[in-house]
Structure formats: structure tokens, C-alpha cells
Amino acid sequence: MDTSSEALLDGRVAVITGAGRGIGRTIAERYLACGARVAVADVAGAEDTAAELARAHPDRVVGVPADVTDEDSVRALREAVVSAFGGVDVVVANAGVLLLRPVLDMGLAEWQRVIDINLTGTFLTCRELGAQLVEQGRGGRIIASSSLFGVRGGRGNGAYSASKFGMIGLVQSLAAELAPYAITVNAVCPGQVDTPMLQQLFVDRASSSGRSPQEVRQGLLDTIPLGRLAPPAEIADVYVYLASSLSSYVTAQSLVVDGGCQVGW
């Protein structure tokens, strides 16, 4: 097996939801660098991001506008990827939103939106693209972006945490169902990753606590044993591992990548 990083995903086709920016975009960059062809799917910015990535990797990336909460849109995503690349090998269900709100203050519509995008969106992505993997009969990989808050709760995290815990139940069940087809299904549970989502959290927490975003950031850093936020690239490398032959016997797992947060000091 050629384990040089440029060859790790040679010839594979990956579809990544929520790839217009943040972690998803960085996964797309890393997959392209490792030899894959990539469909960048997002409700916003998919085509622009794909056009930017295509400058370094012409003919190996397409942008597909797709809303993971919409069944028809996810079906159209499957068709678009098959039409562009002839099939799919790796499915990354990464689209997600963060809402910080104490449970007692949370409106039903807010709760529903988080569950719709994070949990139901992951279900639709896994169902439609998973069916494609089964139909092809050549195995495959499904990787879902859960969270550190998929294995523990936290203040203000009721809806987000419920959606991310739910994803892990979905991943474990799907892993058992798709194992006979040589399809592995795993979740990645990142801690604090420096993306637009986290920057927004600093602003929101600051306005609700009377602190500055810098103070909120420092407070968070103080809880991370490694003492720093994760750049998206360090998280994306875990998705490379789970998409590559290096992880062929790994399935039904939730890989926490949090700089030691779960253990604490």
C-alpha cells in the first residue's frame, strides 16, 4: 500500500456536505491534496468554494448547491455526484449549525432547526448516499461530523448536544447495517475548532455574559489541556485517515479529537 499522503485517496470520489467553508472546506482541500475527486456540497457558497479549489485541482472538484434538510435536494446531490464522477466512495456528512440557548429559554422552532440540520440532515445524507454505495457494491466510507458535545452535554448546548448525541446512535446503527457491504461508518467528535462557527460562538457568549470575545476565547483556551484551538487542518487529517485504507477495520466509532478537553487538567 502506498501510504504517501498524496496517494492516500488516489482515485476515490468524496462528497462533503457543509463544505462551503470551515471544517468541510478544509476536508475538501486535504482530500484533493491526497488524490481524491471531490463534490463540495453546501446550502451556501458551494460553487464559489469549488471554483477556488479547482484552481489548484482542475477537473477534480465540482460544487453542488444542496440543502441537507430537503429530501429532494439530497437526492439531486446524489445524482449530481454520480453524473460528475461516475460514483461515490466516501461520504462526509458534515453540514451543521450551532445554537447556544439554555433549554428553558429555547423556542420549539429553534430546537427543530438544529435537529433538522444536524440530525435529520445527516440521516438524509447517509440514506441517499449510503444507498449509492450499496448499489455500487465496492464498499465505501461514511464519516459524520458529530462533536465533543456528542459525548457530553454542557450549559446552553441542549439542542446542539441532543443532535450530536443522536448522530452517534445513527452512526453505530448504520455501521452494523452496512458492514456486510464493506462500508464503514464512523463519527468524528471535534472539540474547539477555529472556524466561523466558533468565532460566532465567541461573539454570542460575549454579548450574553458581558465579557469581550477575547475574554470568552481565553476562558475556553483555559479548559483545553493542549492550550490551543484546533486549526481545521488538524481535524481534517482525521477525516483523511477515516477515508483511507489505513482505517479499513475501524467502524462504528466516535473519534474524539479535542486536545484533551474530555479529560481536563
Q: Could you give the residue numbers annotated as active site?
A: 160
Under rule CB under 6 A, residue 97 binds ligand NAD: yes
The separation between CA 211 and the C-alpha centre of its own chain, rounded to angstroms, equals 30
Under rule CB under 6 A, residue 224 binds ligand NAD: no
SS3 content of the chain, % helix, strand, coil (to 5): 50, 15, 35
- Name the one residue in this structure whose C-alpha cell is 429555547: 106
Return the closest-CA partner of residue 120 out of 57, 82, 71. 71
Return the closest-CA partner of residue 188 out of 100, 96, 66. 96
Q: One symbol per residue from 35 to 74: x for binding ligand NAD (CB under 6 A), - otherwise; what is it? A: -------xxx---------------------xxxx-----
Of the residues 132, 184, 186, 195, which one makes contact with ligand NAD according to CB under 6 A: 195
Nearer to ligand NAD, 113 or 181 (CB): 113
Return the closest-CA partner of residue 49 out of 75, 88, 19. 19
Under rule CB under 6 A, residue 140 binds ligand NAD: no
Return the closest-CA partner of residue 235 out of 204, 184, 183, 197. 197
Under rule CB under 6 A, residue 190 binds ligand NAD: yes
Under rule CB under 6 A, residue 21 binds ligand NAD: yes
Under rule CB under 6 A, residue 254 binds ligand NAD: no
CB of 161 to ligand NAD, least distance (A): 11
Question: How many Cα neighbours within 13 Å face the side chain of 81?
Answer: 29
Under rule CB under 6 A, residue 253 binds ligand NAD: no
Under rule CB under 6 A, residue 168 binds ligand NAD: no
Nearer to ligand NAD, 183 or 189 (CB): 189
Of the residues 196, 222, 249, 265, which one makes contact with ligand NAD according to CB under 6 A: 196
The residues near 9 (Cβ < 8 Å, ≥ 6 apart) are 31, 34, 35, 36, 90, 240, 243, 244
Q: Kindly determine how many residues on this chain lie close enough to bind ligand NAD according to the rule CB under 6 A.
A: 30
Under rule CB under 6 A, residue 96 binds ligand NAD: yes
SS3 category, 81: helix
> How far is the C-alpha of 236 from the C-alpha of 215, rounded, in Å?
27
Q: State how far the alpha carbon of 75 is from the alpha carbons of 29, 85, 148, 167, in Å.
A: 24, 16, 30, 20
Of the residues 34, 62, 95, 175, which one makes contact with ligand NAD according to CB under 6 A: 95
Under rule CB under 6 A, residue 158 binds ligand NAD: no
Q: Which stretch binds ligand NAD (CB under 6 A): 81-89, 90-98, 104-112, 248-256?
A: 90-98
**Footprint of ligand NAD (CB under 6 A):** 17-18, 20-24, 42-44, 66-69, 94-98, 117, 121, 145, 147, 190, 192-193, 195-198
